[in-house]
A and B are shown apart, each in its own frame.
Chain A
């Protein structure tokens, strides 16, 4: 784990945009995926919210949120070990990853209750 964290160079300010870039890709994937899936393989309307589309999208969301949470944890670890510019970079990145992870959870929430194609 330590080796992975070191390879990711989490004190680089590129991570300012890392979490939100992942969030954006995830967001495009779920919106685009939903649109395409509803056009190509729509579920039966009486299936409600738990059907192949929502479950797939929820799994994707879960993986993304876990990945982002892991990166946030890594950044917090790095922030502890540095001072000055590198601490600043890792600390801001860490909270951006936290926000992105919570953003995934919050936006994905309606998948639990709403059917996908109505």
Chain B
């Protein structure tokens, strides 16, 4: 693509380029700062908010340790203690660990892969607001002393309305689901950004390892979170409406919740670990002064972990009464995961061995990680053995193991990364002295707390008991653990003081202060909103080691896309495998819509909590209107990219092609949707085959004929959408609007028929889980038919406004993908819900 000879142009030209970029990518101040969609700002907001929740979670941990420091304590009541333990786990896992790592990825990925932003900036903003509002709603339950108290995994029936009649469980279910919208948003756009916006020449095998880790994490979020979203919806429906999904008497099964929770919960451990390991794989080569040993083996290990972690969920359920052979499958699979973990650890050790490590502050935290995580991994292999697992189940041994893995495997690398990238965030260096004090206090305090907790557990102390009698042999160990906990807190206080002080007293950082190899250090310190003045061609894994002059050249606008007078926010759209440039991706600018949509969703969340269903319905409708309006300002809309002019020699804008990032985003979103759907099918077949009181009616209440006609309408609509796309590929746009309106009409017919089937079935949703789960399936199909119809209708309208046509053929491709998905899942649903019961019977 274009490489600009800036030497020939004067400094005025360069200054104009900087000014143009600054104007196009400007972040507004004041109230309008709420409209910012830029990844740098939002990544920082995610991380700062995550740190705030970390402090809340930490205070809760100290309350726990104070209560059980000595026997027979009355510092907390049993009710409050249960709330505190539940919220400690919930806050740390859902409001701190995942969001802060997502924030780091959101901040870092575009800078590392040579892009100017993530591919869907408004989705980043929506994700942030959903996270913030969901976190506030959930945390507010503590202020009201109504916090959830059934443990962070909310096992049924303890969390069901019979045993948890207050609003605590509802706060958890609705708040967490809200927060998970945020996680899924980040997951989708990180996948697409890494695959489609790497700078020119950056083939997959030249990508920084951190990007590999984040790609795996993001895909795991996309697949792993929907089972919990489904579980939360089902449990909330059971609590609010009385649909007995987890109630044995109504044909449900409480173990279904455990399956759905751990289908999410175990991969989540790796969702947290992988980005942290990505930090380790980034930092060790920098401080060892050499490339990582076994780049390909590390990619191998990342891929294996991403998959195998989904095959381990039952090892959290070894004591619920599963056949021994099935336990053996999961025990073996749990041991398999030690192989990729071991490969990474040996790759890191070999890199240190062959390099010349410099023990700077970030490296201290890395060494701490290696020690603690290896210990946590070893106790993990112990827990994978079924007989040992039975012995220590629900004891402090499990709590200690979990903290060794999560704190060792996530928090230590995160702290290393925080110190490493601090000069990028602020332009200043941290204090080595205060930082080392912080590290040693945390390291000593952590081991004093949790190493000792292994022994408390082996002596039989159960988890989540609010007190214990003296004389059981636990007294001294609990006291030492509590002292260790407070030492660790003092360490984190030192770290916070160091970070706070460095903004004022830290030495200004020089360019690339750690002599790193990756592109984020080609930014200014701190970075501009557009990251890079020009986008380089990168054909090496170590661009700054091999081309130290690169940051200067990029700053002088000597590489690609060095123009902004067109007013668009641009970056390269590249081939996911080779890194060859395909198109110019233009991303939207600042907007109120993400905030407004998140506020409407927050109203839905609060209304559902308070059982104000009409207001919840109104809020949902308003949210849909906001989201559709947001989607309207796309492509050639005057607020997006009405002008398609590009520099001669550059590729076209993505909205003028048929393979922009939206297609990839839709595909990735449908993977998440498919995971939700498969979880639903799992629930249906699980209850059918396992639930002891399952009641299948003699004849299916669903009209098969009506469903088949509805399927016919759906296929007709999908065919019209495909015809439109084929026509656009052949440069024909005749009848485009007609096809879209036709598809919308057929989608409407499908909607009406499903509604008719639903009403006619007269399902007793509060009496049997069979009818309840049928109803959920029908609602799923109903929502999808409605969405397909509305999206096609909007496409028809956009043809009229000339936002879609031969000049802008992109959007129909995206909508056609959705219709394809609809066709597949609808027929699977018909077979599963209406055909198989007729063939097999109850």
Report which A residues bind B (CB closer than 8 A): 12-13, 16-17, 20-21, 23-24, 27, 30-31, 34-36, 38-40, 54, 84-85, 88-89, 91-92, 95-96, 99, 103, 106-107, 109-111, 114-118
Contacts and interface: CB of A to CB of B under 8 A. Distances in A.
A34 B205 CA distance: 40
A106 B300 contact: no
Given A110-B328, A114-B324, A23 B307 contact: yes
A92 B299 contact: yes
17 contacts: A13-B577, A16-B303, A17-B303, A20-B303, A20-B307, A23-B307, A27-B329, A35-B323, A85-B204, A85-B577, A91-B296, A92-B299, A106-B336, A114-B325, A115-B325, A116-B325, A118-B324
B80 interface: no
Contacts of A12: 577
Contacts of A110: 325, 328-329, 332
Interface in B447-466: none
B786 interface: no
A23 B335 CA distance: 15
A84 B300 CA distance: 17
Interface of B: 203-205, 296-297, 299-300, 303-304, 306-308, 310-311, 314, 323-326, 328-329, 332-333, 335-336, 339, 577-578, 689-690
Contacts of A27: 311, 329, 333
Contact of B304 (A20, A31, A35): A20
Nearest to A17: B303
B339 A99 contact: yes
Contact of A36 (B204, B205, B306, B689): B689
B329 A35 contact: no
A114 to B, nearest CB: 5
Contacts of B326: 31, 34-35
A31 B323 CA distance: 10
Contacts of B308: 20, 103
A38 B323 contact: yes
B303 A96 contact: yes
Contacts of B336: 103, 106-107
A118 B323 CA distance: 5
Contacts of B325: 34, 54, 110-111, 114-118
A95 B297 CA distance: 9
A39 B303 CA distance: 34
Contacts of B300: 92, 95-96, 99
B689 to A, nearest CB: 5
Contacts of A116: 323, 325
Nearest to B219: A17
B73 to A, nearest CB: 44
A17 B323 contact: no
A88 B689 contact: no
Contacts of A36: 689
A88 B323 CA distance: 42
A5 to B, nearest CB: 19
Contact of A99 (B205, B304, B310): B304
B167 to A, nearest CB: 36
B578 to A, nearest CB: 7
A110 B203 CA distance: 42
Given A20-B308, A34-B323, A92-B296, A39 B328 contact: no
A109 B323 CA distance: 16
A36 B314 CA distance: 16
Contact of B329 (A24, A31, A96): A31
Contacts of A16: 299, 303
Contacts of A114: 324-325, 328
B542 to A, nearest CB: 16
Contacts of A95: 297, 300
Given A99-B339, A107-B329, A39 B690 contact: yes
B671 to A, nearest CB: 12
Contacts of B306: 20
Contacts of B311: 23-24, 27
Given A20-B308, A103-B308, 15 more contacts: A24-B311, A31-B314, A31-B329, A34-B323, A34-B329, A54-B325, A85-B205, A85-B578, A92-B296, A103-B336, A106-B335, A107-B333, A110-B328, A114-B328, A118-B324
